[in-house]
Amino acid sequence: MSKKRKQKQSALSQITKEYTMPTWTTTKPKPVVLGPSINERKLTPEDEQRATKYDNSRLMSMLYFALSLKRPHKGSGEQKLLEAIAQHIPRGFPKHYDEAGNLHVDARQTEANRTLFVSHVDTVHRDDGVNAIKQTPSVWYASGSQLGADDGAGTAMLMHLLYHKVPAYYIFTVGEECGGIGAKVVSDDQALLKQFDRAIAFDRRNNSSVITHQGYGRCCSDAFAEALSDKFNDAGLLYMPDDGGVYTDTAEFVDVIPECTNISIGYMAEHTDREALDILHFRHLADAVLSFDWDNLPTERDPSVDDFASGNNWWSGSMYGGAKHNYGYDTYSWLKEDYPTQATGTYPANDTSTTWTDDDDLYCALEEAANRHDTGYLWSLLSDHIETYYGVTLPLSATINFKRADLHRWQKQVGQQPTEDILDEIAEQLTII
Ligand SMILES: [Zn+2]
């Protein structure tokens, strides 16, 4: 063998060594005593089955690999993850880096494939390094640091779709946490974006949102969000349109792509060292995303029309697992009628913490979802407030004990922002388990 060839071979083997996926196994998760005090979920038989199914899978290996790296923008972790992704893309799909360093993969098969999937590979970490991942049967988190499931989980989900050759275009972006640096460069390429009817990110907290609004503007139609929720719910999940989105990469594409959304991937308390990933939800979602044809979703929104009709409100999304006042609660009767099992079964109403003024299965279901993952905007305001005025750090196990009548009253009083008085009132009603 020539000297040159030898050199090349040894360089290649080094790369392979560096980016070999660690084998991940669910068989014996270490018992965890300390850590984020998230309400542990009990595994259903389906959860157990999925745990076995995804044991040692490429999906879980990619997830573990991504989360084990801190990935600040422009750091080595961000780059390592991109290189690992590039290396593990199934053969035959064209791929390239654009000028911002985003990785593009074209897995479309026909012109009818008009779906774009996006995830960001960077995290809010300040420095590169190794993340020590802790696992319980239902939750993953990092010891003393952000887990980086925002959006390592979405990135692993895109790879899962790619491993299964779901025909679509995929972009792994850089610098989302620094203001969508990568996505902004993509948005300059109108010719590319015009090839898509929908842009999908899995970069939303909790487990029930299909985001219809980011910032103050609409990003996808209700028809699209409900159809997509339907697809997930047919697979046993409980999703619904949520107009409380803030920002992710797909927000950069709304002027060209009709339906842009962001879907709950199961992380909670992102950007804090209490960030955790609901691994049961993650695996369930992994099943669901392969169960239907993404190109069959309706396309209704006109991207040339700005729609600011609905804004962010402080009781947004996660408070109710997605349902909000300005849709009118009754809009969600379809959910209850169509998905009675999810509304009463997956989220059993064993509520000891909350008093509802009427007995409605759906509200109980939503309230359960909210209690288990209540880390939304109100939550962050509340925890800041409590830390400032009570000197206490709010554990994730805290649940808000309120009456629906109170919520309506607060809603009327505060308009767009909760006052300190109201935060105080809510704080007094906290139950900490
Ligand atoms: Zn994110």
110-124, 306-320, 384-398, 408-422: range with lowest mean pLDDT: 306-320
pLDDT score recorded for residue 421: 67
Distance of CA 124 from the midpoint of ligand 1 (Å): 9
Instruction: Report CA-CA distances (Å) from 419 to 83, 228, 413, 426.
Output: 47, 35, 9, 11
Measured in angstroms, how far is the CA atom of residue 72 from the centroid of ligand 1?
Answer: 12
| Cα(291) to centroid(ligand 1), Å | 25
What's the gap in Å between 176 CA and the centre of ligand 1?
A: 7
Ligand 1 center from residue 207 Cα (angstroms): 14
pLDDT tens digit sequence for 63-78: 999 999 999 999 999 9
- CA-nearest of 244, 42, 261 to 138 is 42
> What spacing in Å lies between the alpha carbon of 262 and ligand 1's midpoint?
10
CA distances to 293, 364, 368, 376, 427 from 353, in Å = 40, 11, 10, 18, 14
Going from the Cα of 358 to the center of ligand 1, the distance in angstroms, rounded, reads 36
Q: Does residue 51 have a pLDDT over 60?
A: yes
Q: What is the pLDDT of residue 3?
A: 53
Note the pLDDT tens digit of each residue in 129-184: 999 998 888 889 888 888 999 999 999 999 999 999 999 999 999 999 888 899 99
| Cα 276 to averaged position of ligand 1 atoms, centre (Å) | 13
Q: What is the pTM of this model?
A: 0.69
Using DSSP's 3-state secondary structure scheme, residue 157 falls into helix
CA 173 to chain CA mean position, Å? 15
Domains contained in the chain, CATH given = 37-296 (3.40.630.10), 328-432 (no CATH)
C-alpha 118 – ligand 1 centre gap (Å): 11
Confidence of residue 52 (pLDDT cuts 50, 70, 90): very high
State the chain's mean pLDDT as an integer: 74
pLDDT at position 339 over 70: no
Gap from CA of 174 to ligand 1 centroid (Å): 11
CA of 121 to the centre of ligand 1 (A): 9
Over residues 34-51, the mean pLDDT reads 70
